[in-house]
Amino acid sequence: MLKNLYWLKIFFIVLVLILFFIFLLSRGRVYGQAELEYGVTFSKKQAEDLGLDWRKIYLSIFDDLGVKKIRLPAYWNEIEKEEGNYSWEGLDWQINQAGERQAEIILAVGARLPRWPECHFPDWTSGRLKAQIENKILDYINKTIERYKGNKNIVAWQIENEPFLSHFGDCPKFDKKFLDQEIMLTRSLDNRPIVITDSGELSLWVGAAKRADIFGTTMYRDTYSSFFKTYIHYPILPGFFRLKKNLAGLFAKPKDWLVIEMQAEPWGPKPYQNLSQIDRDKTMEVGKFKEMIEFGRQAGFREFYLWGVEFWYWEFKEGRPEMWQYARTLFNR
């Protein structure tokens, strides 16, 4: 009996120490509202999938919302639709328009970039050997950075998108050595910071953060699980992200940590334009949007790139301006 009490006491002491350790690691600075900065990710592909005039929405992002920070994907399968033939018109226009408005740009390069199916390989790569495809990716990255490195509005290069989450999306097996090659190439071409991103809920961050000058996490709370066939709400508190940041910070020292993809659009079993309004509202509407903004602040980040500007505009055109109008208040403070 006494022996059992002894081990029970040891168990509770260890438990208290673990909980105290978690408490210490989940602490961190929480910024005031006036200190927060917001940007958006814009995807020409997503705008086109919604049947929108992508140039019109793009200009509205700056001229109506007042956005001053934007992340742009340089989709390989748009730039090099045919092997060896590079088309820069669409990306040139986006970068020039942002530059005219003095907006800061994070330019994302690589085969794995924002928006489904996550990996955006040109059709002509089908059937090629892995080494051949990798050499072509390096060629495209080289040409992209050489073309745009003279643009002063580009503040950072993002290499791939959530590369350590390779099980998500229609993508080949992740290769750390090749990611390191892409990073090495980029550093040899330009000295601007490199952004590496990772999943906020499904990754440990260390591998990405060790390679990054700027580490970017995703941040989602309401999604649809294809495994469980139901909508889910992540049962996590803001301290979860502070804990992950502090733990990763024991092994990695990026110059900055930001939220590169903050949920501000629905996530359902099919594209949101094909969902009912009731189903869209299950994972995102203006009330949830406001909650996400406060959640992100409490999580201890200062800079956020919102995910869903195409959705806000689409909703606005469908007669529901609330998301667009609320977003406007974030960029005009």
Predicted local distance difference test score (pLDDT) of residue 19: 37
Tell me the pLDDT tens digit for each residue of 243-271.
999 999 999 999 999 999 999 999 999 99
Predicted local distance difference test score (pLDDT) of residue 13: 44
Predicted local distance difference test score (pLDDT) of residue 115: 98
The reply to whether omega before 117 is within 30° of 0 (cis) is yes
Tell me the pLDDT tens digit for each residue of 166-218.
889 999 999 999 999 999 999 999 999 999 999 999 999 999 999 999 999 99
Please, what CATH class does the domain formed by 38-331 belong to? alpha beta
The rounded distance, in Å, linking the Cα atoms of 92 and 88 is 6
DSSP state for residue 275 in the 8-state scheme: S
6 — pLDDT class (breaks 50, 70, 90)? low
pLDDT of 46 strictly over 50:
yes
166 vs 22, residue with greater confidence = 166
Mean pLDDT score of the chain = 93
pLDDT of 18 strictly over 60:
no
pLDDT of 7 strictly over 60:
no
Predicted local distance difference test score (pLDDT) of residue 29: 83
55 vs 1, residue with greater confidence = 55
pTM, to two decimals = 0.93
Predicted local distance difference test score (pLDDT) of residue 28: 63
3 — pLDDT class (breaks 50, 70, 90)? low
Predicted local distance difference test score (pLDDT) of residue 8: 53
The rounded distance, in Å, linking the Cα atoms of 194 and 179 is 12
Predicted local distance difference test score (pLDDT) of residue 333: 76
SS (H, E, C) 100-115: HCCCEEEEEECCECCC
Question: Concatenated DSSP letters for 9-60?
Answer: HHHHHHHHHHHHHHHHHT------GGG-EEEEE--HHHHHHTT--HHHHHHH
**How do 230-233 and 256-263 pair as beta strands?**
unpaired
Predicted local distance difference test score (pLDDT) of residue 332: 87
Predicted local distance difference test score (pLDDT) of residue 247: 95
Tell me the pLDDT tens digit for each residue of 271-317.
999 999 999 999 999 999 999 999 999 999 999 999 999 999 999 99
15 — pLDDT class (breaks 50, 70, 90)? very low
Mean pLDDT in residue range 22-41: 79
Mean pLDDT in residue range 136-145: 99
Any idea where the domains of the chain sit in the sequence?
38-331
Distances in Å between the Cα of 1 and the Cα atoms of 5, 13, 14, 20, 120 are: 6, 19, 20, 29, 64
pLDDT of 25 strictly over 70:
no
